[in-house]
Amino acid sequence: MHIPRSPVGRGRFAAMAVAATICACVLSAPAPAPVRAPAPTRPPVPGPADGPAPVDAAPPLDWSPCPETPGFDCATAKAPLDYRRPTGRAVDLAVIRHRATGPGPRLGTLFFNPGGPGGAGTQALPQWYELFPEELRQRFDIASWDPRGVGGSTAVRCFPTTDEAYEWLERIPFGFPVGQSETEAWVDAYSDLGRLCEKRDPELLRHVSTTDTARDLDRLRHAVGDEKLSFLGVSYGTFLGATYANLFPDRVRAMVLDSNIDPRAWVDGGAGADPRLTTFLREDVDLGSAATLRQFLDHCGRAGADRCAFSAGGPEATRAKFERLMLRLQERAQGSWTYARTVTTVLSSLYAIDPGWYDLAWTLEDLWVRRPPQEPVAPEGTLPYPAFEQIEAIRCSESPNPRDPRRFPELAEFAYGRAGDLGRAVAWASEPCATWPATAASSYAGPWNRPTVNPVLVVNTLYDPATPYQGALAMTRQLANARLLTVEGYGHSSVVNPSLCVDDYERRYLVDGVLPPPGATCRQDVRPFGESRPRGGVGTGGGGTAGGTNAVAPGGNRVDGPWTGRLPSTCSGPTAGAAARGARVPDSTGGEGPCEERKACPSGRRGTERR
């Protein structure tokens, strides 16, 4: 989801914000007590169902060393803009890989999508690479790419200059609008953005859907010489994976979907529909984020102030303290820290336990005692093009949202009523789609249960603020041949909230084709607030700016949360800020321990070092 945020003051850097994508589940679902078992799978539906469009064989990629990323190779692939017209206009796809390191025979290429929509794989893969289990790095070339419309590929770019993009961002209220004046400014700005984008390249806007990207992915599979696809998709990448699996069910070798979107809720009748609820409310992101916030406050309260700065000595007292702080900020901002900025910061900081939860506790405590929270340092040098419109170009073209902007204040109050303060941010995150001018020319809307030649592995934490656990239940139920691995923990994805147990199961599945047993569970490697921590978090060197929120990640990478100097996010969620679509979700860990010994650790390993 995309929630504008202006970090430090105003001005060019002030316009930066987090960009995140999110999902949730059924709109009528009760308040999110985690469900433990998937519902029975429906009988599979065979048949082509908008199956593969015929394309010419993709030529091999011409790899060369990446000039700015030592150890990686880069290439550019060509794909038809419109697969129904393969000889027409073409788009470029920027591709990156790290060769298999050995020892052991190479198994092919493992394609990785970091989420979004709008996540640039050429930037994410070098930052994530060392997090892949060692055996995967030994046996696979690991590759990613910038999807069409994004980054170094043929990109949606609605402003002629970077300065003009930041000037537009200055018009957006921080986080989400509060009051009539801010609401009018928000709606007017996004209406203008849609017109600007339509004017620049209307043809491209209609050909950046997930379906187009799934066809591109199959073309890349062919270009690297793999008979079948091996794939790891995180957050929005799970929807991409589900789309590929149903367009090309006979070409799935192995597919891991981590932090899952409910496919039916995402498409909800197709791109041209006018639904009652927004994408993220249909996906229950408001409920998932509220449930995760409660876990944060309860763990903080039990930990005490020596390990969680915001603790009031117990869960109930800490929750009451948070509610009083929100009410106080609604009445009067504290410097640049408005109610909306604080709510958005809370939401994005829940993605990663370490250091995100530690840093969030310090930020809330600073506000509580009326002390200015520590701010990130503005990046040096020329600011990158913020590329915020690339998120909307993909999501708004294929996932339907209410088309009347006047409905969003009511939707925000609906979400507040069922999910509290975070609900308002989640509801407003989809408003840019109300006036978006383009509808995808090709958008797969189901069925989702075409039998794949090999099973799919679905992974999800119980308390995920961006892709709630119910989304994984829905994904497992809707796919014809899937197995769910439940992570008894917190945060968005097992990549940024590590678990050796999950690593072991994914390694055995991707290398040997062995699924976890039915009902398998894992725990995370680190407990929330499990130790006293200096301000700034572990691995950040402490200090005032370490792990700060609302910053722009180096290189202008899009991030689904606050930049912590560590990893990009993986998500599809509501913490997308209008500005810096350059911040990212921190690397974090949480849970009750590394693995659950019963079914959790295939190799019986424990510890915190990834192998």
Cα radius of gyration rounded to whole Å, the chain: 22
Helix, strand and coil percent figures for the chain, each rounded to 5: 35, 10, 55
Query: N- to C-terminal Cα distance for the chain?
Result: 33
| pLDDT for the residue numbered 216 | 98
Degrees to nearest 5, angle at CA 242 with 238 and 246:
170
pTM (2 d.p.): 0.84
- The residues of the chain scoring below 50 in pLDDT are 1-49, 54, 537-571, 576-611
Q: Which amino acid is at 232?
A: L
Output the six-digit token pair for 130.
């060392």
| pLDDT for the residue numbered 236 | 98
Distances from the Cα of 93 to the Cα of 76, 152, 255, 467, angstroms:
6, 7, 22, 27
| pLDDT for the residue numbered 47 | 39
Of 111, 99, 132, the closest CA to residue 496 belongs to 132
The tens digit of pLDDT for each residue in 596-609 reads: 322 333 333 333 33
| pLDDT for the residue numbered 575 | 54
| pLDDT for the residue numbered 560 | 35
| pLDDT for the residue numbered 515 | 98
Q: Are 238 and 475 in contact (CB under 8 A)?
A: yes
Q: Are 493 and 258 in contact (CB under 8 A)?
A: yes
Of 427, 440, 399, 396, the closest CA to residue 268 belongs to 399
CB burial of residue 20 (10 Å; 0-12, 13-18, 19+): buried
| pLDDT for the residue numbered 19 | 29
Cis bond before residue 386 (omega within 30° of 0) = no
Output the six-digit token pair for 390.
């690339």
| pLDDT for the residue numbered 370 | 97
Q: List the 73-80 sheet strands across, edge first.
A: 64-65, 73-80, 90-98, 140-145, 108-113, 229-234, 252-258, 456-463, 482-490, 521-523
Degrees to nearest 5, angle at CA 559 with 555 and 562:
105
Q: At what angle do helices 236-247 and 469-478 cross, to 10 degrees?
A: 0
Gap between the Cα atoms of 206 and 575, Å rounded: 25
